[in-house]
């Protein structure tokens, strides 16, 4: 058995088609006719733009707009004068087009891949795709056509480029295995959109398999088997049937309210990063947006988005949600999320530094633009404002003061907004948890950010593989913190939600029901799974389990007790 990253759920069994990539070799000759080389480069860029636009259009039609955005992003990047301009500058020094493309792309790849943030690292992989495509065009290398593979094929490749993925015929591809790529790489996003089981980042897999080998891809667990024994095959054929049965079962939950087994109605919201994601939330039957990570709007731009640009983006999400709640989190940058044009100071401890609401309060001009834009968008639906990384009461008071001033200005100028707009805070630091009773007097709602709450409670960098063994929301300390926050919010009579990844964890859900959590905000693709798990638990069953689990001393004991009690 080999293991990789479980990138797209499900079990695929079939015959391997190994995609061998041509080596992109060239002689880095010194160029004498600079203008001719520039023209050759420009021709390659034009061809890249044309084929990429055509593929984006194809993906938009066959799969969806969100997935097409990956390729559209490539078009934006190549049209950015910094990138192509740098390449031309190198050609002007006598380097050939291939060497210029390679050097400039490698420079950007090096820069982005060092960043801790998944989105930024994804940029590195996008630029690597652009590099490969441009080099192939310059060298006249054609991509393999995978639209013609037979039904039941397991694709194995070093990486699946968007051009390969755009040729995938869903009915014929039973699974995907790659050597590189993470959960947010384009191969993963597209595999999930096509609902093809995928395991990525399996070291050296292309050298370990041959065409026509039989493979099992367990995209839920991240396991793969090559030429498995008969009993393993039988086990996975059964697992595949079971998975398909469960997926069918989940469809019964489409359009249904989110109810516990004893009939308590809970809210099941979605986490989104862009206004367009709101469409996905609707498609997946989300009941609102519990977390709109507004920082992506800032990260996907090369300038500070103006008040109007921000307003349009927030309004778009609000209108898509048609009156359902949209909780917009104000700019959560710093830590692992850098925005080059803001020129933030480098810090020794960025996770403990001048970030999120701290940065915003320290840069009131930037923050005001955002608050004004959100307030204007509130005239179009049910918007709430949420503050990230709150650690003390003064932070909420300061933001409230800024919002009151903006409201007064809007009143004077007759600009429409929702005067009753709620202002809540994320509870994701140890400090916020410990003073949750005090914060509950100042905030209109809470949302527990377990991703950071785990990091700051356990003193574990959430992106550091060396200490990943400590990073778990099932640690007794984190569970106690979650229970305490919910109790404080409920005692103060304010709504409490959770928008960290733990809200969708089938093992965590019964504990949250017992603690009294009423709003769950999850990745859109997990809405039905969460609704299904919620439907299986009564409050008294959840209470009995919580009582047992909360007396345990270690994370391992907690997880094992929860697994033993899990309802299938």
In the complex, what is the shortest distance from the CB of residue 511 to ligand PEP, in angstroms, rounded to a whole number?
Answer: 16
- Going by the DSSP 8-state scheme, the letter that residue 273 receives in this structure is S
Whole-angstrom CA distances from 567 to 8, 475, 536, 537 are: 22, 21, 7, 8
Closest listed residue to residue 214, CA positions, set 203, 204, 229: 229
Rule CB under 6 A: say whether 452 interacts with ligand PEP. yes
Segment near Mg ion (CB under 5 A); pick from 139-147, 360-368, 427-435, 552-560 = 427-435
Which of 167, 214, 363, 451 touches ligand PEP by CB under 6 A? 451
Q: Is 521 helix (H, G, I), strand (E, B) or coil?
A: strand
Site string for ligand PEP, 496-535 (x = CB under 6 A): ---xx-----------------------------------
Rule CB under 6 A: say whether 293 interacts with ligand PEP. yes
CA distance 48 to 133: 7
The structure tokens 């307003």 sit at 311
Residue 152 CB-half CA count within 13 A:
7
DSSP per residue, 402-429: HHHHHHHHHHHHT----TT-EEEEEE-S
Segment near Mg ion (CB under 5 A); pick from 195-203, 212-220, 426-434, 483-491 = 426-434
- Told to judge if 186 belongs to the known catalytic residues of this protein, a careful annotator would answer yes
CA distance 311 to 105: 34
- Give, as ranges, the residues between 452 and 481 that touch Mg ion (CB under 5 A): 452
Which of 449, 489, 495, 524 touches ligand PEP by CB under 6 A? 449
Considering CB distances under 5 to 8 angstroms, the limit depending on partner class, which of ligand PEP, Mg ion, none binds residue 500? ligand PEP
* Given 186, 360, 488, 532, the catalytic residue: 186
In the complex, what is the shortest distance from the CB of residue 427 to ligand PEP, in angstroms, rounded to a whole number?
Answer: 9
In the complex, what is the shortest distance from the CB of residue 490 to ligand PEP, in angstroms, rounded to a whole number?
Answer: 20
Which of 288, 290, 335, 449 touches Mg ion by CB under 5 A? 449
Note every long-range contact of 349-357, with CB atoms under 8 Å and residues 24 or more positions apart, other chains counting: 351/455, 351/461, 355/389, 356/331, 356/332, 356/387, 356/388, 356/389, 357/330, 357/387, 357/388, 357/389, 357/390, 357/395, 357/399
- Give, as ranges, the residues between 306 and 335 that touch ligand PEP (CB under 6 A): 332
In the complex, what is the shortest distance from the CB of residue 240 to Mg ion, in angstroms, rounded to a whole number?
Answer: 36
- Told to judge if 499 belongs to the known catalytic residues of this protein, a careful annotator would answer yes
CA distance 168 to 62: 10
- Give, as ranges, the residues between 397 and 436 that touch ligand PEP (CB under 6 A): 428
Considering CB distances under 5 to 8 angstroms, the limit depending on partner class, which of ligand PEP, Mg ion, none binds residue 287? none
CA distance 390 to 403: 17
Active centre residues (catalytic): 186, 499
Which residues would be at the binding site for ligand PEP (CB under 6 A)?
291, 293, 332, 428, 449-452, 499-500
């Amino acid at each position: 058995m080999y293991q990789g990253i479980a990138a797209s759920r499900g079990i695929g069994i079939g015959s391997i088609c190994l995609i061998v990539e041509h080596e992109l070799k060239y002689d880095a000759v010194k160029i004498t006719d600079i203008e001719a080389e520039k023209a050759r480069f420009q021709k390659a860029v034009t061809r890249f733009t044309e084929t990429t636009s055509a593929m984006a259009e194809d993906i938009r039609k066959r799969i969806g707009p969100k997935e097409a955005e990956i390729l559209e992003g490539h078009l934006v990047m190549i049209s950015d004068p910094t990138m192509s301009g740098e390449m031309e500058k190198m050609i002007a020094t006598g380097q050939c087009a291939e060497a210029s493309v390679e050097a400039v792309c490698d420079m950007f790849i090096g820069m982005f891949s060092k960043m801790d943030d998944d989105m930024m690292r994804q940029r590195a992989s996008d630029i690597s795709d652009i590099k490969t495509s441009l080099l192939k065009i310059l060298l006249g290398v054609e991509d393999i056509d995978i639209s013609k593979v037979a039904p039941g094929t397991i694709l194995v490749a070093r990486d699946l480029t968007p051009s390969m993925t755009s040729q995938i015929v869903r009915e014929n591809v039973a699974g995907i295995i790659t050597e590189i790529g993470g959960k947010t790489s384009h191969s993963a996003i597209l595999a999930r959109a096509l609902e093809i089981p995928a395991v990525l980042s399996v070291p050296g897999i292309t050298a370990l398999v041959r065409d026509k080998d039989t493979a099992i891809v367990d995209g839920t667990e991240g396991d793969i088997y090559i030429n498995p024994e008969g009993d393993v095959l039988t086990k996975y054929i059964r697992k595949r049937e079971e998975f398909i049965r469960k997926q069918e079962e989940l469809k019964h939950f489409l359009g249904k309210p989110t109810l516990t087994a004893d009939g308590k109605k809970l809210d099941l919201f979605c986490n989104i990063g862009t206004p367009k994601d709101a469409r996905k939330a609707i498609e997946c039957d989300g009941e609102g947006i519990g977390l709109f990570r507004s920082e992506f709007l800032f990260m996907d731009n090369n300038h500070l988005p103006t008040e109007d640009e921000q307003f349009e983006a927030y309004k778009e999400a609000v209108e898509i949600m048609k009156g359902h709640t949209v909780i917009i989190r104000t700019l959560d940058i710093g830590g692992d999320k850098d925005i080059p044009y803001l020129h933030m100071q480098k810090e020794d401890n960025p996770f403990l530094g001048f970030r999120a609401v701290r940065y915003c309060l320290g840069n009131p001009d930037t923050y005001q633009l955002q608050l004004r834009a959100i307030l204007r968008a509130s005239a179009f639906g049910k918007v709430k404002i949420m503050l990230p990384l709150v650690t003390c009461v003064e932070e909420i008071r300061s933001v409230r003061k800024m919002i009151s001033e903006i409201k007064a200005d809007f009143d004077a100028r007759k600009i429409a907004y929702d005067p009753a707009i709620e202002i809540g805070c994320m509870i994701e630091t140890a400090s916020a948890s410990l003073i949750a009773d005090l914060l509950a007097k100042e905030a209109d709602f809470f949302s527990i950010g377990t991703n950071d709450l785990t990091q700051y409670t356990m003193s574990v960098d959430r992106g550091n593989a060396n200490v990943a063994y400590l990073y778990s929301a099932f640690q007794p300390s984190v569970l106690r913190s979650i229970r305490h926050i919910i109790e404080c919010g409920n005692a103060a009579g304010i709504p409490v939600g959770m928008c960290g990844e733990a809200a969708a964890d089938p093992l965590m859900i019964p504990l949250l029901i017992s603690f009294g959590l009423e709003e769950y905000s999850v990745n859109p693709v997990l809405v039905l799974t969460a609704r299904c798990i919620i439907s299986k638990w009564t409050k008294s069953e959840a209470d009995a389990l919580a009582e047992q689990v909360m007396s345990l001393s270690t994370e391992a004991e907690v997880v094992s007790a929860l697994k033993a009690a899990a309802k299938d």
